[in-house]
Amino acid sequence: MAAAGRTPDEIAAELRGVYAQELKDPALAVEVKSASPSRVYVAGEVVAPGELDTQGPNLTLLQAIARAGGLRTAGDPDHIFILRHGPADTPVVLAADYRGASTGTTPAADIRLAPFDIVYVPRTGIGQAYIWFNQHFQQFVPVSWGFSYNLNPVVSNKP
């Protein structure tokens, strides 16, 4: 009997129905001995991308990003999305309102993640531009971005 996603009371009720066909007034108890951790993944422009394991209730959007170390400077808080596998394992993309959740203007935007959800934080446009500049220009041109000056120049009047 599949137990995933069901409470012990629901499982016990179904088992009583099954055993009632063979036993008079079956008495049984269903007890959870251990639960497997719930996993979600955070990728993109966060400090520590990767897999997050948790016991108990699934993480919320803000909790998952906080456990991943928060957004990097180049992270775009306005275009975060969640990839979830729906019925028949078809991928579903959900828009996340991180800014509304993190500022408290839209507390309901701090949605609870489902097991195996992927939270993706994309780069900002300026972050993308910097990567392009670095890959196509800066690494190939030896440019010194500093400057120097001399406060005590040595003046020579020798002919």
Residue range(s) defining the domain that contains residue 64: 34-138
Q: Are residues 48 and 111 in the same domain?
A: yes
The single-letter code of the amino acid at 116 is: F
The number of distinct structural domains making up the chain is 2
Q: Which two tokens stand for residue 74?
A: 């180049």
- Asked whether the beta carbons of 63 and 79 are under 8 A apart, the reply is no
Strand pairing class (38-44; 118-121): parallel
Which single residue is written with the structure tokens 């959900």? 94
SS3 (DSSP) at 92: strand
User: Which residues make Cβ contacts (< 8 Å) with residue 115, sequence separation at least 6?
Assistant: 38, 39, 40, 58
Q: Are residues 47 and 62 in the same domain?
A: yes
Q: Are residues 117 and 129 in the same domain?
A: yes
Q: How far is it, in rounded angstroms, from Cα 96 to Cα 112? A: 11
Q: How far is it, in rounded angstroms, from Cα 106 to Cα 119? A: 19
Q: Are residues 67 and 128 in the same domain?
A: yes
Q: How far is it, in rounded angstroms, from Cα 34 to Cα 37? A: 9
Which single residue is written with the structure tokens 């775009």? 76
Q: Give which of 54, 88, 61, 55 is closest to 77, Cα–Cα.
A: 61
Q: Give which of 103, 85, 107, 105 is closest to 94, Cα–Cα.
A: 85
pLDDT at 15 over 70: yes
pLDDT at 156 over 70: no
Strand pairing class (91-95; 81-85): antiparallel
Q: Are residues 64 and 114 in the same domain?
A: yes
Which position has the higher pLDDT, 134 or 72?
72
pLDDT at 35: 72
Assess if residue 67 is contained within a domain. Answer: yes
Q: Are residues 107 and 131 in the same domain?
A: yes
Question: 35-65 pLDDT, tens per residue?
Answer: 778 899 999 999 999 999 988 788 999 999 9
Question: 101-151 pLDDT, tens per residue?
Answer: 999 999 999 999 999 999 999 999 998 998 888 888 877 777 666 777 777
